[in-house]
Structure 1
Amino acid sequence: MDGVAYNKFYFTGHHKKEQLSHEKLEKLVKSLELSIEQPWANDDKWIDFIIQVLLLIKNINKYIIYLQEVNQKMNTIHNSNVSTHNPGCDLMVYTIEAFDSIHSKYEELSDFLFEKDSYEFFDLDEYTSHNVIQKYNYIKNLQLNVPVTIYRYYQGNYLRTINYIWKVPLRNDH
């Protein structure tokens, strides 16, 4: 969270962190509704507050409906025998030829691959940043002393892109 969180207690406190379900939200909305029905809420000084609470209740109810719809879609996807992703669209396999000189940030990976047998694959994420943009740029600008093939599969949503790499033999025309 880049060092600043609006709710530091939630992230730093030692307590069970619960997932927020639509059932829990419905109970909280009922509690809010009961609170603003109390006799104290009839006093004129509470009108602005009551209006804001009613707006909050309206928005929470919209969010509850959204959560139910997403939950139904996810259940349908999880129970389906059909893949939600098309490997033809979400998969990239390409070869990068060897470079004569490479940037220093690629030397460790290049040396590692040089020692490997051709077609021996491994997860490229071991050599990339956890930052998605830095990882993308690292792979996009990849320079190695050996020719390689890269297999990239975008899994979708919160799942990471799978990145495998393997050394391929030098081509005869080089």
Structure 2
Amino acid sequence: MPALFKELATYASDNTDRNTYNIAYHTSYHKKESISHQKLDLLIKSLELSIGQPWVNDSEWDNIIPDIIALVDMMRKYSEHLVKSNTLMAAIHHNDDSARNSANNSHMFRVFGCKEDDLNDQYRELNDAILQHGFY
């Protein structure tokens, strides 16, 4: 951990019993939250505003600023990916054409309940169809 973070009260202690970050990490429930394009854009703008502040010119920030700029770049690329994916999925959803290639569509087999003696006969059509394909 960079020395700059060690100066912050949250990360100051190496003792896991006293370090408030470790206490919160080990005792709380962590739920992975979905992030929207709008929220990601707000975070990007917030980081860009932060690195433009005068206090960033202090020498202790020299090691962190390039990483923050790289993070902003990654976030921007991910945000663009979200927009492209959403646009593509919306186009597929509202399209009348099948999203799948019709040659790859699945085959449905209806198998009625049967006695144990008739089991092989009931599943013969399904078994033959599976054996005809190289993958299933």
Task: Please state which band the TM-score falls in when normalised by the shorter chain.
Answer: 0.5 to 0.7
Cα distance in structure 1, aligned partners of 2:76 and 2:35: 14
Q: Whose relative contact order is higher, 1 or 2, with alpha carbons under 8 Å and at least 6 apart? A: 1
5+ residue gaps, structure 2, are 1-24, 131-136
Distance in 2 between residues matched to 1:10 and 1:71, nearest whole Å: 26
Letter in 2 for 1:58: D
Deviation of 1:113 after TM superposition, in Å, equals 4.7
Give the percent of matched residue pairs that are identical in Structure 1 and Structure 2: 34
Cα shift at 1:91: 2.2
Would the aligned equivalents of 1:36 and 1:50 in 2 still touch at CA under 8 Å?
A: yes
| Counterpart amino acid of residue 115 in structure 2 | E
**How big is each residue's C-alpha offset from its partner over 1:110-154, in whole Å with a ceiling of 9 and x where there is no partner?**
xx95339x8xxxxxxxxxxxxxxxxxxxxxxxxxx52304388xx
- How far, CA to CA, are the matches of 2:29 and 2:74 in structure 1? 25
Shift of 1:89: 1.6
User: Across the two proteins, how many residue pairs are aligned to each other?
Assistant: 99
**Structure 1, residues 80-127: CA drift from partner, whole Å, max 9, x if none?**
000111342232568xxxxxxxxxxxxxxxxx95339x8xxxxxxxxx
Q: Deviations over 1:28-71 (max 9, x none)?
A: 01111111122221012211101100000000000011111001
In 2, are the aligned partners of 1:22 and 1:64 still within 8 Å (CA)? yes
Aligned to 2:48: 33
Question: CA–CA distance in 2 between the matches of 1:21 and 1:48?
Answer: 30
Query: Aligned partners of 2:98 and 2:57: how far apart in 1?
Result: 55
Equivalent residue number for residue 103 of structure 2: 88
Question: Is 1:9 matched with 2:29?
Answer: yes
Partner of 2:87: 72
Cα distance in 2 for partners of 1:59, 1:23 equals 15
Distance 2:49 2:68 in 1: 11
User: Which deviates more from structure 2 when the two are superposed, residues 82-91 or residues 67-76?
Assistant: 82-91
Distance 2:38 2:108 in 1: 44
TM normalised by structure 2 equals: 0.59
- Structure 1 stretches of 4+ with a deviation exceeding 6 A read none
Q: Is the 8 A contact 1:22 1:67 kept in 2?
A: yes
The structure that is strand-richer by fraction is 1
Is this contact kept in 2: 1:114–1:146, CA < 8 A?
no
Give the structure-1-normalised TM-score: 0.47
Mark the structure with the bigger radius of gyration. Answer: 2
The code of the aligned residue for 1:10 comes to H
Which of the pair is proportionally richer in helix?
2
The Cα shift of 1:21 comes to 1.1
Give the unaligned 5+ runs of structure 1: 1-5, 12-16, 95-111, 119-144, 153-174
Match of 1:57 in 2: 72
